[in-house]
Chains A and B, each alone.
Chain A
Amino acid sequence: MRFAVLFGLLLSVGSLFVPTVHISWALELKGNLSSQFRYFPSSPLFDGQEQNTASFSLEVEGYHDLSDDLSLTFTPFFRYDSADDERTHGDVRKLYLLWVRDRFELGAGVYKVYWGVTEVVHLVDIINQTDAIEDLDGEEKLGQPMVSLSVPSEWGIVDLFLLPFFRERTFPGDRGRLRFGIPILEDDTIYESGAGKYNLDWAVRYTESLRNWELGISHFEGTGREPWFVMMVSPDGIGLAPYYPKIKQTGIELQYVLSNWLWKLEAIYREGQPNLESELKDYHALTGGFEYTFYSIFGSYADLGIIVEGLYDSRQSLAITPYEEDIALGFRLALNDMRSRELLLLVIQDIESSSRTITIESSMRLGEACKVGIEAMIFSEQDSVSLFESMDNDAILSDFRDDSYVQFEVAYYF
């Protein structure tokens, strides 16, 4: 009896000290497993390149609510490639703790942040490094370590980023297609910053939606994500060492929506990026155009979008980009059917030369959890003289001139 009372007393006292924090342990998992085959009709241009390649990839996202306002996201990614050891790679896309309050959102860890409005070239987007070996469209990104703060207000959203660690761009290896003739010496990467990859980069962005307008203004200071290359002689022969300069970049994004029209503009002003003649000259670049959508064409549920975007870089022939004065024309057909069948045709035409790239993408769902896709990339009328021989920006794709390919992909989503 006395024990029972004591026990009861202990229990009730004890319960005072038990934390009443409600921690929910619901872990959400999703992801996809994908196999991919790339068929290259033409023989490789360079020694050591394999003809075709097969690969598979796995991406899993785990999400976990630690409390009402605190969450953890973890997204590992891995790809195995049969031809290219460099394309066999893994990455932590996200490992991110996010604290959401009414007045602000504070995040820390590895994360992916997208800026921009245009469809073809992404000028303003600068937080994450491009995982260039994954795809040529520049939309695959490596996870970026950061501390981020987002403050919403009546007058828009202000985002601040501290970026304490630099991620190097990925490049194909010797056996891979879609590479330069001269090998990239990733082990000899050079940084302008004395702190190397530990330079503390920072960025700020302001965004606002005003009726039919979307506006974004951003500024970045730190090690540029876009490499320049230094010719080096290594024990293995001549190679190109990636050089990452310290840059300052200011960007604007503008979008105007009116019934079926989307008008888009992105512009950047960048200081500190060497051009092809190794000069440090400020430059600006613009991309913009429109997307017009015909809804429910021919009385069906299909939508047809027409995309027209112009691309301009003030460095012109000294730019290390293939898109210094180009026009892009695209058609996007979405059938809006059970299988979500889609088709995209995109042609990017250089204005001064005949250089042209054509992308065709088509996909559909199979059953409830699988998706199949066919993609073709055609490099047409490319110069046969390499960029590093001709110093001509149109030649940047010349090393890819025999690398037109067709890709088949099957992905399972869970």
Chain B
Amino acid sequence: MKTTSFLLLFIMFLTSSLLAETPQQEGHRVFEEMDRRDQGFGDVISRQEMVLRNKHGQESLRALRMMILEGHDDGDRMMIVFEKPMDIKGTALLTHGHIKRDDDQWLYLPALGRVKRITGASKAGSFMGSEFSFEDLGTQEIEDYTYLLLGKEEYQGAEMFVVERIPADKKSGYGRQVTWIDQNEYRLHKVDFYDRKKTLLKTLTTSGYKRYLDKYWRPDRFIMVNHQTGKSTQINVSDYNFQTGLKGKDFTKNSLKRIR
């Protein structure tokens, strides 16, 4: 009798682990599916405007161009050229993203004509005084996080996955993130960012999703609100251009020096 119940339990455990996913696996699968749907975009150029607001409502403007080349064996490559404020116009940042090691980053300073290698460790640092950090803007790899499906709920009239992800990198500024992803198209709608002490720090919301090349969904607005300081940053993307023919040679130190 005892033996049979053990056997029964064992069989039940075996089938459940074979048939049903754990919440960890489910969370991982959501992001894997999201990543899969975005594969093959090749390259994308976008023009972005950042509006920085402090808690008194004062605003400051940043404008930039961003070029991304999809990576295959390694991380993506990214070039950011600053257009506003005027005193840093022409300054450019080149990032070679890597899986499971620090990104390589170079900064071009046009006044000196100098290309400066900088540390890729500044993940948690603010991007140009905005509420976005380098890790929020940088390209992200599946391996950068561990995942957990917290549940499914309706958000903004659509059925969403609610997935927690925890950064693997100790240099990340976050202890955990809770993400809302719609079940139809696997688009990211909202992220709650918690700091290392697991206190709610920031919330990102996206809107204005459009489909490019009949496949790739991109929002034209990102709003990041910092709950601890009352500051916020809104990114308006005026333009996405996919598959423009960018190549590896457009993401080198030489191209950084002459990018406009």
Query: Is A354 close to B, CB under 8 A?
Result: no
Most chain A CB neighbours (cut-off 10 Å) among B119, B171, B253, B260: B119
Query: Is B12 close to A, CB under 8 A?
Result: no
Cross-chain contact B125 with A296 (CB below 8 angstroms): yes
Per-residue interface assignment for chain A, residues 282 to 298, with 1 indicating a CB less than 8 Å from any chain B CB and 0 otherwise: 00000000000101100
Which stretch of B13-21, B79-87, B140-148, B185-193 is in the interface?
Answer: B79-87
Per-residue interface assignment for chain B, residues 119 to 131, with 1 indicating a CB less than 8 Å from any chain A CB and 0 otherwise: 1111011101100
Sample of 14 further A-B pairs with CB below 8 A, known A112-B113, A139-B112, A371-B87: A98-B258, A100-B258, A114-B114, A117-B116, A117-B117, A209-B117, A257-B117, A259-B171, A260-B119, A293-B122, A303-B122, A369-B86, A411-B87, A414-B86
In the complex, which residues of chain A have a beta carbon less than 8 angstroms from the beta carbon of B114? 114, 116
Interface of B is mostly: loop
Cross-chain contact B87 with A369 (CB below 8 angstroms): yes
Residue in A28, A152, A262 whose CB lies within 8 Å of B252: A152
In the complex, which residues of chain B have a beta carbon less than 8 angstroms from the beta carbon of A209? 104, 117, 253
Cross-chain contact A257 with B119 (CB below 8 angstroms): yes
Query: Is A105 close to B, CB under 8 A?
Result: yes
Q: Given A296-B124, A369-B86, A413-B89, does the pair A338, B58 have CB atoms closer than 8 Å? A: yes
Q: Given A293-B119, A413-B85, does the pair A114, B125 have CB atoms closer than 8 Å? A: no
In the complex, which residues of chain B have a beta carbon less than 8 angstroms from the beta carbon of A414? 86
Query: Is A353 close to B, CB under 8 A?
Result: no
Ranked 4 nearest A-B pairs via Cβ: A413-B86, A301-B126, A338-B60, A114-B114
Cross-chain contact A338 with B52 (CB below 8 angstroms): yes
Query: Is B254 close to A, CB under 8 A?
Result: yes
Cα A30 to Cα B116 in complex, Å, equals 22
Rounded to whole Å, the gap between the CB of A404 and the closest CB of chain B is 25
Cross-chain contact A261 with B87 (CB below 8 angstroms): no
Cross-chain contact B119 with A259 (CB below 8 angstroms): yes
Cross-chain contact A295 with B60 (CB below 8 angstroms): no
Interface residues of A in 84-111 (CB under 8 A from B): 98, 100, 102, 105
Rounded to whole Å, the gap between the CB of B105 and the closest CB of chain A is 9
Interface residues of A in 152-169 (CB under 8 A from B): 152, 157
Cross-chain contact A338 with B129 (CB below 8 angstroms): yes
Rounded to whole Å, the gap between the CB of A109 and the closest CB of chain B is 14
Query: Is A214 close to B, CB under 8 A?
Result: yes
Query: Is B54 close to A, CB under 8 A?
Result: yes
Residue in B85, B112, B128 whose CB lies within 8 Å of A369: B85
Query: Is A379 close to B, CB under 8 A?
Result: no
In the complex, which residues of chain A have a beta carbon less than 8 angstroms from the beta carbon of B173? 296
Cross-chain contact B117 with A255 (CB below 8 angstroms): yes
Cα A339 to Cα B85 in complex, Å, equals 10
Cross-chain contact A368 with B84 (CB below 8 angstroms): yes
In the complex, which residues of chain A have a beta carbon less than 8 angstroms from the beta carbon of B104? 209, 211, 257
Cross-chain contact A301 with B129 (CB below 8 angstroms): yes
Query: Is A5 close to B, CB under 8 A?
Result: no
Query: Is B249 close to A, CB under 8 A?
Result: yes
Cα A413 to Cα B83 in complex, Å, equals 12
Query: Is A4 close to B, CB under 8 A?
Result: no
Cross-chain contact A30 with B117 (CB below 8 angstroms): no
Q: Which residue of chain A lies nearest to B117 when distances are taken between CB atoms in the complex?
A: A214
Cα A255 to Cα B117 in complex, Å, equals 8
In the complex, which residues of chain B have a beta carbon less than 8 angstroms from the beta carbon of A368? 60-61, 84-86
Cross-chain contact A336 with B85 (CB below 8 angstroms): no
Residue in B89, B90, B121, B258 whose CB lies within 8 Å of A259: B121
Q: Which residue of chain B lies nearest to A156 when distances are taken between CB atoms in the complex?
A: B253
Cα A32 to Cα B90 in complex, Å, equals 13
Cα A113 to Cα B257 in complex, Å, equals 10
Q: List 22 A-B contacts (CB under 8 A).
A: A32-B87, A102-B249, A112-B113, A114-B113, A117-B117, A152-B249, A152-B252, A152-B254, A257-B102, A257-B104, A259-B102, A259-B119, A259-B171, A262-B117, A293-B122, A296-B125, A340-B85, A368-B85, A368-B86, A411-B87, A413-B85, A414-B86
Query: Is B8 close to A, CB under 8 A?
Result: no
Interface residues of A in 335-351 (CB under 8 A from B): 336-340
In the complex, which residues of chain B have a beta carbon less than 8 angstroms from the beta carbon of A380? none
Cross-chain contact A413 with B87 (CB below 8 angstroms): yes
Q: Which residue of chain B lies nearest to A30 when distances are taken between CB atoms in the complex?
A: B89
Rounded to whole Å, the gap between the CB of B107 and the closest CB of chain A is 12
Query: Is B118 close to A, CB under 8 A?
Result: yes
Cα A413 to Cα B115 in complex, Å, equals 22
In the complex, which residues of chain A have a beta carbon less than 8 angstroms from the beta carbon of B116? 117
Q: Which residue of chain A lies nearest to B61 when distances are taken between CB atoms in the complex?
A: A368
Per-residue interface assignment for chain A, residues 306 to 344, with 1 indicating a CB less than 8 Å from any chain B CB and 0 otherwise: 000000000000000000000000000000111110000
Q: Given A102-B249, A259-B171, A369-B87, does the pair A337, B120 have CB atoms closer than 8 Å? A: no
Most chain B CB neighbours (cut-off 10 Å) among A150, A157, A411, A413: A413
Query: Is A63 close to B, CB under 8 A?
Result: yes
Query: Is A199 close to B, CB under 8 A?
Result: no
In the complex, which residues of chain B have a beta carbon less than 8 angstroms from the beta carbon of A117? 116-117
Residue in A28, A116, A214, A295 whose CB lies within 8 Å of B260: A28
